Structure 1
Amino acid sequence: MTTKMTAAELDAYLDEVFPQLHYGGRTFFVEAVGPMSARMRCDYHEKHLRPGGTLSGPTMMALADLALYAAILAQIGPVPLAVTTSLSYNFLRKPAPMALIGECRLLKLGRRLAVGEVAIRSQGESELVCHATGTYSIPAGP
């Protein structure tokens, strides 16, 4: 199965439709896409820190949501109104002070719904810091 969008095309698309994502400096990057999958990176930056100096939950939530969006669009192409309908997060341990990697695997990709899971790790580490599952609604085609 080939993808309809490459990692570079997805990065450019996110720049176009979500320019606010990079306010204060670009930190989110699509690293790879494949059949029913995507990998994203969130670079370590002070704008993502919470009190105590750890990467915040909202940062991990954004990374998971973006990884799901990237995995879906890689399969179906640029559909701007594909939207999140549910997300669930399990924060498992404090992330290390380094980039986060979110690896998404789509479990189901139908005509109207997509379901996936995202494993988030500190870059270079094997232990999960967060596990997320989510569902996206895909608008009906023309």
Structure 2
Amino acid sequence: MTLRDPTPRMNAAQLEAFLDEVFPQLHSGGRTYFVEEVGPMSARMRCDYHEKHLRPGGTISGPTMMALADLALYAAILGQIGPVALAVTTSLSFNFLRKPAPAALIGEARLLKLGKRLAVGEVSLYSQGESEMVAHATGTYSIPVER
């Protein structure tokens, strides 16, 4: 699985404060993304239902779902390695499974591999209160060399 210690280095509050510091633009127009939980090799994030995230037809847009998946994966990685702002997405593959309900969107990220230079994970997206996935993503992040 990994050579790293599975004990998280950052909790949800620390991670949210870090995101506020390095990505203040994330909350442009009001805060809608929240770190709910950080666990061993995992993180859970929420995107509140808001009109700025809707597409024609009144459903949550694909770019909003992709942003949540990317953020949740980033949160899971930083939870493990600590505040490394320059860890970057190198790939993100996305499968839209069903129309999300008009509710908050939950992203549950799980790391599959955490190496020295690359992290690979998956994210399951759910409408809050629903048990069926609305989307599934897999992604890879490049982790910068420690200096």
Partner amino acid, structure 1, of 2:94: Y
Task: Give the 5 Å matches for 1:21-100.
Answer: 21-100=26-105
Aligned identity (percent) is 82
Q: Does 1:132 align with 2:127?
A: no
> Which residue in 2 is equivalent to 1:13?
18
TM normalised by structure 1 equals 0.99
Whole-angstrom distance in 2 between the partners of 1:120 and 1:85: 20
Instruction: Compute the RMSD of aligned alpha carbons.
Output: 0.5
Q: Which runs of 5+ in 1 are unaligned?
A: none
Pair 1:116 & 2:121 matched:
yes
Runs of 4+ more than 6 Å apart: none
Q: Deviations over 1:98-141 (max 9, x none)?
A: 00000000000000000000000000101100000000000011
- Distance across 1 between alignment mates of 2:146 and 2:28: 32
Tell me if 1:2 matches 2:11. no
Unaligned runs of 5+ in 2: 1-5
Q: CA deviation at 1:17?
A: 0.5
Aligned residues: 142
Residue 101 (1) aligns with residue 97 (2): no
